[in-house]
Structure 1
Amino acid sequence: MPSVFAQSTLVTLPDQRRLEIIRYGNPTHRPVVFHHGYASSGLSIPPHAELLEQLQLQILAPNRPGVGLSDVHTALTLESFADDVLFGLEALLIAGPVGLLGWSAGGLYAQAQAALYSAQTTTLHLLSTCLPLGEPATYRHLPPRWKTIKFLNDYTAPLARPLFLRLSRQWTREPDRMIDRFMNLLGPAEQEEAGNPVSRIVLRDAAQHGFSHRGQGVYDDGRALCRPPRFHLSAIQAPTTIWHGTDDFIWHPAPIYYLGSRLPHATLRMLPGEGHMLFLKYWRQILEQVSQEMGD
Structure 2
Amino acid sequence: MSMHSRVFIVHMTPDLGSRLFDKATEIGMMSEGYVWIITDGMTNVWSLIHHSDHMDSMQGVLGVRSYVPKSKELENFKVRWKSKFVQNNPSMINAELDIFGLWAYDATLALAMAVEEALGIAKFNFDASNLESFGWVSQNGPKLIEALSSMRFKGISGEFGFVNGQLEPSVIQIFNVNGNGEKGIGFWTSKDGLVKRLDSTSNANLGTIRWPGDSYSIPRGWEIPIKGRKLKIGVPMRKGFDEFVKVTWDQKTNSTTFTGSCIDIFNDAMKVMPYPM
Judge same fold: TM > 0.5, yes or no: no
Larger radius of gyration: 2
Higher helix share: 1
Higher strand share: 2
